[in-house]
């Protein structure tokens, strides 16, 4: 009878009041240190793929040579310390608190002010059974932008947005530009003639 009840709890996703997702979290977090770069071989470079999911230009200030915009960046990398057999748990993706895992200390180095719309303590990451980690960064940025308005109102401005890890060297963490999440997302038009183009070779937007 006890075996029957144990199987019944498994099928309903609970064992002694703990969900399967909670069991899995406890298993993969056991012994995990979020301060250590998640590579098995210390000399390996960790690749962070950065994609631009959305962008809205809010304010273009030629006098201050700044542009304010809201955007969501999607970061993805491989955590070699995390994996599980999805057939054992019937879970492919798992949501975890961002603070539980190692994450790259990503910054927009061309921004003079950043207002994150979700507090770090409230942010989650998605973790796949093979160790793929996906992070969303949604914020309002005030970005420096060299402008030339001599031909206003027919001017066209190009602003560089540089994004990458702050405290790691390129031998430790390297970022690459990923594909746009939505079709035709590589160009964003504001109220004037400015546009943002994602560079295929750098973690930057022109």
Taking residues 98-111, what's their average pLDDT? Answer: 90
Residue 88, φ and ψ in degrees, nearest 5: -75, -30
- The CATH number fitting domain 33-205, selected from 2.70.170.10, 2.40.110.10, 2.60.120.10, 3.40.50.2300: 2.70.170.10
- Does residue 12 carry a pLDDT above 70? no
Convert the pLDDT of each residue in 144-158 to its tens digit: 888 776 666 656 767
For residue 198, what is the DSSP state? B
Percent of the chain with pLDDT over 70: 74
Size (the chain), residues? 206
- pLDDT for 194 equals 37
**Domain residue limits, the chain:** 1-30, 33-205
Taking residues 103-110, what's their average pLDDT? Answer: 87
Average pLDDT, the chain: 78
Closest CA to 176 of 78, 54, 37: 78
- pLDDT for 75 equals 93
- Which helix or strand (DSSP H or E) is residue 26 part of? helix 20-29
- Does residue 88 carry a pLDDT above 90? yes
Closest CA to 188 of 76, 50, 49, 60: 60
| DSSP β-bridge partners for residue 52 | 73
- Does residue 142 carry a pLDDT above 60? yes
Convert the pLDDT of each residue in 184-202 to its tens digit: 333 333 443 333 344 433 4
| DSSP β-bridge partners for residue 128 | 93
Verdict on whether the full-model pTM lies above 0.85: no
- pLDDT for 3 equals 45
| Cα–Cα distance measured from residue 176 to residue 57, given in angstroms and rounded to the nearest whole number | 24
Convert the pLDDT of each residue in 51-62 to its tens digit: 888 888 888 888
Structural contact between residues 172 and 46, judged by C-beta atoms closer than 8 angstroms: yes
| Cα–Cα distance measured from residue 149 to residue 147, given in angstroms and rounded to the nearest whole number | 6
Considering only CA atoms, give the Rg of the chain: 21
């Amino acid at each position: 009878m006890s075996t029957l009840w144990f199987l019944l709890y498994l099928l309903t996703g609970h064992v002694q009041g703990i969900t399967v997702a909670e069991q899995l979290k406890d298993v993969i977090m056991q012994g995990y240190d979020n301060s250590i770069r998640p590579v098995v071989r210390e000399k390996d470079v960790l690749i962070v793929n950065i994609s631009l999911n959305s962008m809205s230009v809010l304010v273009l200030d030629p006098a201050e040579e700044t542009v304010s915009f809201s955007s969501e960046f999607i970061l993805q990398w491989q955590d070699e310390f995390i994996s599980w057999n999805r057939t054992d748990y019937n879970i492919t993706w798992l949501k975890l608190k961002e603070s539980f895992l190692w994450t790259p200390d990503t910054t927009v180095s061309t921004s003079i002010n950043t207002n994150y719309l979700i507090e770090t303590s409230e942010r989650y990451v998605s973790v796949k059974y093979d160790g793929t980690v996906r992070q969303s960064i949604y914020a309002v940025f005030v970005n420096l932008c060299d402008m030339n308005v001599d031909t206003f109102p027919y001017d066209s401005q190009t602003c560089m947005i540089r994004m990458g890890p702050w405290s790691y060297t390129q031998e430790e963490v390297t970022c690459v530009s990923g594909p746009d999440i939505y079709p035709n997302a590589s160009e964003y038009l504001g109220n004037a003639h400015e546009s943002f183009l994602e560079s295929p070779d750098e973690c930057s937007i022109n």
